[in-house]
């Protein structure tokens, strides 16, 4: 009885490759699969296209009166949990033999009919699946999960699940806590820890050479001792939960690092959609081919959002409190999501200031969403739409059956290259693209999608043009223009919102004698850029 009674991992042919029963009775995988299959038939007509039973199904669903199933796709495998559902309402029970007889009688009479709701939010399941995915990936050092990988690591998965689930409920799900409870002994970790030791010894020696002191030596040997103990399966001396009153349970206890660094990755994903302009285009397009610039007057985008994520990766000893100050560039970040370590009070009174005691290693510090269309101040939103601009013009040429895609990679001195630039040309059904004149890159056709692909590294500050024609299935030119084009690329060195890290410092805790190395990385990615 409870949230999660069993967990399965299945491959894409619907075969169970891993089964773990948390609490019996639990349904068998076969039963779950049969039920899902029958629901899918009720639900959906064309099942021919996908092999897996899960595609097209809701992520959380009741398979019968007793069992609820939730699933998610993790790399190449499906993770499925099933749990017994609670009744929607439970009666309130009270047997308070109170001193005031009368009142108590009254109360029991009244309470006979009182019920409280007990419906579990579907998101409880999904949150567990997400947490499980994060933890497993981290313990397997970010490996891609395949059926073979799952089988090879069955014991590791079980050890993780032993801590993550008990009594049908998520038990310990925090990564740092689990790392402390389950010292990982994978090969990779060993190599990393060994190399870290070597590096530590080296750097301490260098330090002692440089400073003539061996202050750091002690700490490095301590940390190597600890990792040795891990390897032998001996427990670490202290643990997050040794004593009560630990207010930062997300951070490992007694963290010691010889390298002192904190790194911030600011990653933003752009989405924008620009509608086709209604204004008539010049009738004879031959001249526009040489006019490389994009039309100055642009339509108001239908969609213009930026999804930002701030990752923080630190190797800092002790319990440092870090203050990260972001220059928000007058953007409205809405209501960002923060890791639990962040003091949200400081943010809400002082937007842009993130103060926190970080967990060890890498974690997601915050996420935000900017809707550029919502900004009240009259800014030119085109300044925040990334480095690549695109335009699709149809009805060109003598026969008015040619179209042109213009692309502009803007110049920015912090960015040298645009990476993996690609334009997908989406055409009406039964049409193909014929390229007439292409200034850069070439036209490729992959899985019935036509792509204009560029070099892996494209220098900034150039204009590219693609002139083409749509062909009907018979090969005759068609008067249609492509439905829309989508652009994808990434670049390092800037983010579209132009948000910057103003400062990053340890304001308390941490070792005082060494100045930490600080690094900030800006990455732009695309989610959906579309010109109609």
Partner 1 sequence: MAELGKNIGVLLENATKNLSSTVNEAIQSKNVKLPSGLNAFLSNGRAQNQELTSSQVIEGLNSSSDKEIQTSLKYLVRLMTTKQNSDPELLQYFPHVIKNITSNNLRTKRLVYIILLRYNHMQQDIALLSINAIQKSLTDKNCINRALAIRTLSGIRIPAILPILVLSIKRTISDSSPLVRSATAVAITKCFLLDVSFNKHHAASTLKDESTVPAQMYNFLAILLSDADPRVLSSALNCFYTIFPGYMDLIHPRFAFLVSKLTELEDYSKVILIDLATDYARLYLPKPTEDSMAAELTLLDSKLRSLIYSSSANVVLALVRFYVNVLPFKLDEIPLAKMLVKFLGDDEVTLYVLKEIVYLLDHELVKFSNSQLSYYVPLPNEPFKISELKVYILVKLLNTQNFDQIFTELVFLLNTGSTQLKLAVVRLLNQYRGTAEQKAKIGQLYLSRLDSENEELLVAEYVTGLRIMVQNDLFGNIDVLIKLTGKLVNERELTPVARASIIWLVGEFSNQQYHDDKSVALANFLPDLMRILVRDFRKQEYLVKVEILTALTKLVSKELYGSKQQGEEYNYESLIWKLFNFVLQLTKYDSNVDLRDRSRMIGSILPNVVYLDQDLTATTAIEFQQYYGQKAYVLEKCAEKLNEVELSILLFQTSKPAPISTDSSVNNSNINKYNQVTPQELNSELLEYYNELRAQEFQLKDYNQHKSISHAAKPPPVVNSATTINIEPRQSARKYKLQTLDDFLKEKGTLNVFGGSEDESGPEDEEDEADELATADDDEDARDSEFEKSS
Q: How far apart are the first and last CA of the chain?
A: 52
Is residue 496 within 8 A of residue 270, CB to CB? The reply is yes
Site track for partner 1 across 41-70, x = CB under 8 A: ---------------x-xxx----------
Is residue 428 within 8 A of residue 471, CB to CB? The reply is no
Q: Diameter of the chain by CA atoms?
A: 98
| 326: contact with partner 1 by CB under 8 A | no
Q: Segment contacting partner 1 (CB under 8 A): 193-201, 290-298, 414-422, 461-469?
A: 193-201
Q: Exactly one of 116, 380, 447, 513 binds partner 1 (CB under 8 A); which one?
A: 116
Q: Segment contacting partner 1 (CB under 8 A): 96-104, 212-220, 456-464, 495-503?
A: 96-104
Looking up tokens 């014929």 gives 434
Q: Exactly one of 52, 344, 478, 490 binds partner 1 (CB under 8 A); which one?
A: 344
| 253: contact with partner 1 by CB under 8 A | yes
Both tokens of residue 55? 């595609």
What residues from 266 to 295 belong to the interface with partner 1 (CB under 8 A)? 271, 273, 275
Which element (helix H / strand E) includes 469? strand 462-472
Least distance (Å) from partner 1 to the CB of residue 284? 27
| 167: contact with partner 1 by CB under 8 A | yes
Three-state DSSP at 111 gives helix
| 245: contact with partner 1 by CB under 8 A | yes
Least distance (Å) from partner 1 to the CB of residue 451? 14
Q: Exactly one of 47, 134, 146, 173 binds partner 1 (CB under 8 A); which one?
A: 173
What residues from 347 to 406 belong to the interface with partner 1 (CB under 8 A)? 347-348, 364, 367-369, 371, 373-374
Is residue 271 within 8 A of residue 303, CB to CB? The reply is yes
Least distance (Å) from partner 1 to the CB of residue 166? 5
| 133: contact with partner 1 by CB under 8 A | no
| 422: contact with partner 1 by CB under 8 A | no
Least distance (Å) from partner 1 to the CB of residue 485? 11
Q: Exactly one of 38, 41, 50, 89 binds partner 1 (CB under 8 A); which one?
A: 89
R_g of the chain computed on alpha carbons: 29
What residues from 432 to 471 belong to the interface with partner 1 (CB under 8 A)? none
| 146: contact with partner 1 by CB under 8 A | no
Q: How far is CA 354 from CA 174, 323, 349, 382, 502, in A?
A: 21, 6, 11, 28, 11
When the beta carbons of 303 and 436 are compared against partner 1, the nearer one is: 303
| 309: contact with partner 1 by CB under 8 A | no
Least distance (Å) from partner 1 to the CB of residue 413? 31
| 95: contact with partner 1 by CB under 8 A | yes
| 226: contact with partner 1 by CB under 8 A | no
Distance from CA of residue 69 to its chain's centroid? 23
| 222: contact with partner 1 by CB under 8 A | no
- Spatial separation of the C-alpha atoms in residues 205 and 214, rounded to whole Å: 8
| 92: contact with partner 1 by CB under 8 A | yes
SS (H, E, C) 183-243: CCCCHHHHHHHHHHHHHHHHHHHHHHHHHCCCHHHHHHHHHHHHHHHHHCCCCCCCCCCCC
What string of DSSP letters covers 354-418? EEE-PPSEEEEEEEEEEEGGG--S---GGGGS-SEEEEEEEEESTTS-EEEEEEEE--BTTB-EE
Closest CA to 499 of 478, 479, 519, 520: 520
Q: Exactly one of 31, 169, 311, 382 binds partner 1 (CB under 8 A); which one?
A: 169
- φ and ψ of 237, to 5 deg: -65, -40
| 328: contact with partner 1 by CB under 8 A | no
When the beta carbons of 305 and 401 are compared against partner 1, the nearer one is: 305
Q: How many CB atoms lie within 10 A of CB 149?
A: 18
For 329, left (φ over 0), alpha (ψ -120 to 50), or beta? left
**Contacting residues for 47 by C-beta, under 8 A, at least 6 apart:** 40, 41, 56
| Beta bridge pairs of residue 274 | 531
When the beta carbons of 290 and 345 are compared against partner 1, the nearer one is: 345
Q: Segment contacting partner 1 (CB under 8 A): 284-292, 402-410, 480-488, 511-519?
A: 480-488
When the beta carbons of 247 and 476 are compared against partner 1, the nearer one is: 247
- Spatial separation of the C-alpha atoms in residues 472 and 433, rounded to whole Å: 9
Least distance (Å) from partner 1 to the CB of residue 321? 8
**Preceding amide of 25 cis, omega within 30:** yes
For partner 1 (CB under 8 A), the number of binding residues is 140
When the beta carbons of 3 and 216 are compared against partner 1, the nearer one is: 3
Q: Exactly one of 305, 315, 491, 525 binds partner 1 (CB under 8 A); which one?
A: 305
- Spatial separation of the C-alpha atoms in residues 488 and 221, rounded to whole Å: 48
When the beta carbons of 231 and 291 are compared against partner 1, the nearer one is: 231
Q: Exactly one of 12, 166, 419, 420 binds partner 1 (CB under 8 A); which one?
A: 166
Q: Exactly one of 117, 279, 287, 377 binds partner 1 (CB under 8 A); which one?
A: 117
When the beta carbons of 279 and 287 are compared against partner 1, the nearer one is: 279
Is residue 23 within 8 A of residue 5, CB to CB? The reply is yes
| 179: contact with partner 1 by CB under 8 A | no
Least distance (Å) from partner 1 to the CB of residue 398? 26
Pairing of strands 442-446, 321-327: unpaired
What residues from 491 to 510 belong to the interface with partner 1 (CB under 8 A)? 508-509
Is residue 335 within 8 A of residue 374, CB to CB? The reply is no
């Amino acid at each position: 009885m409870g949230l999660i009674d069993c967990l399965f991992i299945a491959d894409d042919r619907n075969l169970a490759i891993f089964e773990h029963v948390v609490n019996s009775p639990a349904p068998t995988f076969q039963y779950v699969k049969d039920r899902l299959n029958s629901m899918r038939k009720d639900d959906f007509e064309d099942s021919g296209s996908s092999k897996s039973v899960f595609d097209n199904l809701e992520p959380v669903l009741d398979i019968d009166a007793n069992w609820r199933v939730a699933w998610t796709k993790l790399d190449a495998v499906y993770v499925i949990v099933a749990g017994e559902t609670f009744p929607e309402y439970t009666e309130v029970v009270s047997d308070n033999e109170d001193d005031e007889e009368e009142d108590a009688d009254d109360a029991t009479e009244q309470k006979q009919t009182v019920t409280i709701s007990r419906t579990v939010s579907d998101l409880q399941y999904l949150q567990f699946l997400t947490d499980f995915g994060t933890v497993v990936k981290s313990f397997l050092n970010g490996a891609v999960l395949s059926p073979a990988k799952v089988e090879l690591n069955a014991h590791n998965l079980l050890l993780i699940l032993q801590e993550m689930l008990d009594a049908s409920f998520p038990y310990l799900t925090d990564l740092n806590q689990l790392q402390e409870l389950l010292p990982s002994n994978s090969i990779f970790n060993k190599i990393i820890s060994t190399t870290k030791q070597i590096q530590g010894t080296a750097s301490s020696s260098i330090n002692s050479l440089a400073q003539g002191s061996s202050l750091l030596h002690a700490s490095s040997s301590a940390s190597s001792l600890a990792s040795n103990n891990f390897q032998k399966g001996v427990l670490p001396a202290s643990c997050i939960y040794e004593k009560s009153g630990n207010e930062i349970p997300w951070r490992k206890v007694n963290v010691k690092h010889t390298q002192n660094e904190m790194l911030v990755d600011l990653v933003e994903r752009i989405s924008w959609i620009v509608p086709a302009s209604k204004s008539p285009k010049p009738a004879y397009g031959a001249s526009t081919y040489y006019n490389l610039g994009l039309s100055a007057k642009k339509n108001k985008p239908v969609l213009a959002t930026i999804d930002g994520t701030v990752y923080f990766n630190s190797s800092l000893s002790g319990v440092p409190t870090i203050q990260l100050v972001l220059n928000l560039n007058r953007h409205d970040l809405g209501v960002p999501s923060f890791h639990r370590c962040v003091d949200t009070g400081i943010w809400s009174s002082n937007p842009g200031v993130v103060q926190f005691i970080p967990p060890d290693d890498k974690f997601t510090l915050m996420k935000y969403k900017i809707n550029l269309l919502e900004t009240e101040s009259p800014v030119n939103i085109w300044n925040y739409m990334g480095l690549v601009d695109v335009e699709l013009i149809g009805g060109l040429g003598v026969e008015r059956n040619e179209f042109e895609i213009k692309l502009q990679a803007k110049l920015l001195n912090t960015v040298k290259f645009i990476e993996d630039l690609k334009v997908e040309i989406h055409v009406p059904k039964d049409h193909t693209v014929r390229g007439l004149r292409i200034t850069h890159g070439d036209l490729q056709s992959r899985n019935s999608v036509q792509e204009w692909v560029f070099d892996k590294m494209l220098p900034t500050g150039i204009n590219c043009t693609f002139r083409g024609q749509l062909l009907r299935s018979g090969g005759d030119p068609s008067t249609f223009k492509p439905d829309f084009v989508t652009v994808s690329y990434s670049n390092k060195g800037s983010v579209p919102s132009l948000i910057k890290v103003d400062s990053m410092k340890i304001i308390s805790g941490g070792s005082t004698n060494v100045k930490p190395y600080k690094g900030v990385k800006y990455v732009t990615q695309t989610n959906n850029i579309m010109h109609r």
